[in-house]
Structure 1
Amino acid sequence: MTGSSVLFDAPGPRARRLSLIASLVSLVVILAGVAWIIMTLAAPRESGGITLPGMFDASRWDIFADPQVWAFIGQGVVATLQAAAVAAVGAIVVGIALSLLRSSSIGWIRVPTAWLIEFFRGMPVLLMMLFILLVASTGAFWAVVIALVIYNGTLIGEILRAGLAALPRGQREAALSLGMREFQSKMLVEFPQAFRQMLPIIVAQLVVLLKDTSLGYIVGYNELIRTNMNILASFYGNRYLFSLFVVTLVIYLAINLALSWFARWLARRTASGGRRRGRTTDPLNPAALLEAEARADEAERSAANRGLGQYDGTAH
């Protein structure tokens, strides 16, 4: 019995044939659906007694030959990335603070922090943006940034707290045995390991943060969607609405796929510990010192056991 068929029976000829037929049918259905969508979009349509060309007609895409259009779209991209970058830094800082407070051993710190996290996690981001804009009068940019910082900061805080809780208890016990206080153990030994392990998940949450900047459309922030789908579409007319939609979608996909690729690369790096072959232990890393000390103690015990075995052999 092979390792691939331990948990289930290998499919027979009839099952493989049915699976192949189902796969081919599904592929044909998907291709037919895609072809129907393309033909529907490419077909001319009537609107108010006027025949309009299909969505792929060159007359619906000629505005993109104007450099000023791309400059205006670039302003929307910069505004989106600017809000996302500021909110990402703030969310990581807030998340680190909340994770430390939430994992505190002091009850009057830990319990109110848990209530605060649950409150902000349950509040919709758009409602938070509207509240900040209307009550604090911060302006559209800061309403978007502060709301994203608060919401994503609570999520990142829970992610880091889970990373701290998943660490072996021996890490803290070893640090305390070296004379460190609990806070020193958490900051110098436990938290760096938890942050490194949870970094791919944090990056994935930052991808969500980037997409949530589109909610700034509602509060009047000129991010990418508002720039393309509202301002440019109003200026050039609904004739170019589909082409602007496609350009906006492609830009968002390019940014998010790049961040997703970075998250996967980071996951591979953190899974291997970020070590290169032949790399020595960092003497300034407390976690590395603890690992090195544990290896040294194990080697010393092994040597002692070998010496004891040799002594027993000579005694007999």
Structure 2
Amino acid sequence: MSNILYDLPGPKARVRNRLLGVVSLIGIVALLTYIVLRFYDTGQFDPIKWQQFEYASIQQQILDGYLTTMRTAGVAAVLALAFGALLATGRLSDHLYFRAPTSFVVELFRAIPLLVLIFFAYYGPIQLGYKVGPFWPLVIGLTLYNGAVLAEIFRAGVLAVPRGQSEAAYALGMRKTQVMVSILLPQAVRAMLPAIVSQVVVLLKDTALGFIIQLPELLYVGKQIGGRLPFGLPYVPAYLVVATMYIGTCGLLSWFAFWLQKRLTGGKRVKTAAKPIPLSVDTGAGGGAVL
């Protein structure tokens, strides 16, 4: 038996793959154990380095940083989705005067590093004499970069729908807008959803770049907490807490995407088998039997 992209492994290959999986798992566990032991030997688990996390003010500071991260990611995600949909619409246009500029914008913002976009959005207005806070420059940078990436995801998802779907709709007299909204998008969303959520997860993690322009988000708060000398400069404990919060949030987003995709595609399918047509005898006008 074979799959579309590769031949399915045989019995020996399956045993070899299982063996490689076990060896890889043992290697990962050994590496994590070594890292934990090194942390223990260097005093990263000493009570004094974890003592400040018991204070309500520190917990509130971490919570405020987490809420700032989530607010930044939420605003940037909504704007990036809208910006990406707009660019994808232009790239799918039949008219060159729409398609060419949007293609240029997509390639431009995909080629510029995200950090450079954030610096432009933050330091550009300052050079012109306008004082801006760090929130909107970070949101603008995230929107421009991730919107360009999402535009390609949207375009690829629409183009992945079989061409016969749109051709049949055009044959029925539907306009292009009707074909896009009623025929192509409902099918494309199911295929695009994992990639969209993956990009949103990337956007969420990229909010950590806000600490460079002193936005009090989660990583910035973790850096402040880790730099306190009375607690032995607990950088590692602070970053472990921050990393755990990032991992938990990204895991929830991935779970939500899996649940949503399963809900969109896992409904009960009604079988519509055609009923057999009974044979009948028709004598016809000439009296002959016709089956």
TM-score range, shorter chain: 0.7 to 0.9
Q: Which residue of 1 aligns with 2:256?
A: 262
Number of aligned pairs? 277
Q: Which residue of 2 aligns with 1:40?
A: 38
Contact 1:83 1:213 in 2 (8 A): yes
Shifted more, 204-213 versus 306-315: the winner is 306-315
Distance change in 2, residues 1:161/1:22 (3 Å): closer
CA deviation string 1:12-61 (max 9, x = no partner): 9xx95x888777665555444333322222125xxxxxxxxx11111111
Alpha-carbon distance in structure 2 between the residues aligned to 1:116 and 1:143: 19
Q: How far is the alpha carbon of 1:126 from its aligned partner?
A: 0.5
Alpha-carbon distance in structure 1 between the residues aligned to 2:97 and 2:240: 52
Q: Which residue of 2 aligns with 1:292?
A: none
Alignment of 1:1-316 (within 5 A): 7-11=8-12, 29-44=27-42, 54-137=43-126, 138-229=132-223, 231-236=224-229, 238-272=232-266, 275-276=267-268, 306=277, 314-315=289-290
CA deviation string 1:157-216 (max 9, x = no partner): 111111111112233233333433222322333223323431222111101100010111
Contact 2:226 2:237 in 1 (8 A): no
Alpha-carbon distance in structure 2 between the residues aligned to 1:167 and 1:191: 9
Q: 1:104 is paired with a residue of what secondary structure?
A: coil
CA deviation string 1:86-117 (max 9, x = no partner): 00000111111111110000111112211110
> Gapped runs of 5+ residues in structure 1?
45-53, 279-294
> Gapped runs of 5+ residues in structure 2?
127-131
Identity of aligned residues (%): 35
Contact 1:197 1:270 in 2 (8 A): no
Distance change in 2, residues 1:199/1:234 (3 Å): same
CA deviation string 1:111-161 (max 9, x = no partner): 221111011111100000001111134421111101111111111111111
Q: 1:98 is paired with a residue of what secondary structure?
A: helix
Shifted more, 135-144 versus 174-183: the winner is 174-183
Alpha-carbon distance in structure 1 between the residues aligned to 2:28 and 2:77: 38
Contact 1:204 1:263 in 2 (8 A): no
Q: How far is the alpha carbon of 1:250 from its aligned partner?
A: 0.7
Alpha-carbon distance in structure 2 between the residues aligned to 1:149 and 1:195: 20
Contact 1:207 1:256 in 2 (8 A): yes
Of Structure 1 and Structure 2, the greater helix share is in: 1
Alpha-carbon distance in structure 1 between the residues aligned to 2:146 and 2:221: 24
